[in-house]
């Protein structure tokens, strides 16, 4: 175990929208840097960190296809958006002195590394933050599924889902003052109650691989490090 936390290797999943700050689109460098600081403070504990970042701040395949684009092409555009976000996060982390590798499910050798599982494991052992980009490399999937897949492949102990709320509620806490937060909930209950945490394919993959999900707020400064130490409020899906 690592001092300050029981975790040795974790996956952090954030949506692309987490990087856009108050802007309606794209990356907001001070926001990216704030999240990078959160990652660094956990990295400083010696925890091995994998990251998956979505692409919704730039492009979502479903939106493109709703506007008449061919779905698979739109999904590839979404995957490329995640590569841009990964590079933005890499730049912010390296600015803080944290060695980082961007590892893409779609090879683009001039830009980042291709995904080779054993190589990625080696990077983690050398305490490099691995940012897995381009999702699963397949259309019709999401970056939530990519997070569940890579977390299992890398033998992470849990997936930390950094959100704008401190866990899973029975209704939207921003709309309903009486919304109740779950401390713990089963994968099956999340699916049955159709709670919007991750998409269903990702939840099922996490369930089948017994990969716990910890849903917490990335808005609290020091939140990620606190949650790893078991402090603060969050929901565990198990
Ligand atoms: N995407 C995909 N396959 C994957 C992961 C992502 O096709 O394995 C595409 C999909 O079009 C998706 C977009 O990339 O809409 C951005 O990812 P996502 O919607 O998961 O981002 P987030 O909502 O987390 O920002």
> Considering the chain, what is the average pLDDT of its residues?
96
Q: What pLDDT was estimated at residue 14? A: 98
pTM over 0.95: yes
Hey, whose CA ends up nearest to atom 21 of ligand 1?
54
Q: How far is the CA of 57 from the centre of ligand 1 (A)?
A: 10
**H-type alpha helices, 133-216:** 143-153, 187-192, 200-208
Question: Is the pLDDT confidence value at 3 over 80?
Answer: no
Question: Is the pLDDT confidence value at 4 over 90?
Answer: no
Q: How far is the CA of 41 from the centre of ligand 1 (A)?
A: 27
Which is the closest atom of ligand 1 to the Cα of 57?
25
Closest CA to 155 of 3, 9, 1: 9
65 lines ligand 1 (CB under 6 A): no
Say which residue the tokens 């937060």 belong to.
181
85 lines ligand 1 (CB under 6 A): no
Q: Is 160 annotated as a binding residue?
A: no
Q: How far is the CA of 54 from the centre of ligand 1 (A)?
A: 6
162 lines ligand 1 (CB under 6 A): no
Q: What pLDDT was estimated at residue 2? A: 62
16 lines ligand 1 (CB under 6 A): yes
**Domain coordinates of the chain in residue numbers?**
9-237
Q: How far is the CA of 206 from the centre of ligand 1 (A)?
A: 17
- Work out the pLDDT band at 34, boundaries 50, 70, 90: very high
**H-type alpha helices, the chain:** 29-43, 61-66, 71-95, 117-125, 143-153, 187-192, 200-208, 223-228
ipTM above 0.95, yes or no: yes
What are the tens digits of pLDDT across the range 110-165? 999 999 999 999 999 999 999 999 999 999 999 999 999 999 999 999 999 999 99
Question: Is the pLDDT confidence value at 48 over 60?
Answer: yes
Instruction: Kindly report the CATH class assigned to 9-237.
Output: alpha beta
What are the tens digits of pLDDT across the range 15-26? 999 999 999 999
Q: State what percent of residues in the chain have pLDDT above 90.
A: 95
Q: What share of the chain is helix, strand, coil (3-state, %, to 5)?
A: 40, 20, 45
What are the tens digits of pLDDT across the range 63-78? 999 999 999 999 999 9
64 lines ligand 1 (CB under 6 A): no
Q: What pLDDT was estimated at residue 220? A: 87
79 lines ligand 1 (CB under 6 A): yes
What are the tens digits of pLDDT across the range 161-198? 999 999 999 998 989 999 999 999 999 999 999 998 99
53 forms bridges with which residues in the sheet? 14
């Amino acid at each position: 175990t690592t001092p300050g936390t029981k975790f040795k290797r974790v996956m952090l999943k954030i949506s692309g929208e987490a990087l856009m700050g108050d802007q309606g689109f794209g990356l907001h460098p001070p926001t990216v840097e704030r999240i990078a600081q959160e990652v660094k403070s956990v990295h400083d504990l010696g925890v091995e960190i994998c990251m998956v970042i979505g692409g919704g701040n730039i492009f979502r395949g479903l939106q493109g296809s709703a506007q008449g684009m061919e779905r698979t092409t739109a999904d590839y555009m979404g995957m490329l958006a995640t590569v841009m976000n990964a590079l933005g996060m890499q730049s912010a982390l390296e600015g803080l002195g944290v060695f980082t590798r961007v590892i893409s499910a779609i090879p683009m050798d001039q830009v980042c590394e291709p995904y080779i599982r054993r190589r990625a494991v080696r990077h983690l052992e050398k305490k490099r933050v691995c940012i897995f980009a381009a999702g699963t490399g397949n259309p019709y999937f999401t970056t939530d599924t990519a997070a569940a897949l890579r977390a299992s492949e890398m033998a992470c102990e849990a997936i930390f889902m950094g959100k704008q709320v401190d866990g899973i509620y029975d209704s939207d806490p921003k709309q309903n003052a009486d919304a109740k937060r779950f401390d713990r909930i089963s994968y099956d209950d999340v699916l049955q109650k159709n709670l919007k945490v991750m998409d269903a394919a990702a939840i099922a993959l996490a369930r089948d691989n017994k990969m716990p999900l910890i849903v917490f707020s990335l808005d609290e400064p020091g939140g990620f490090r606190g949650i790893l130490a078991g402090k603060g409020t969050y929901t565990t899906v198990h």
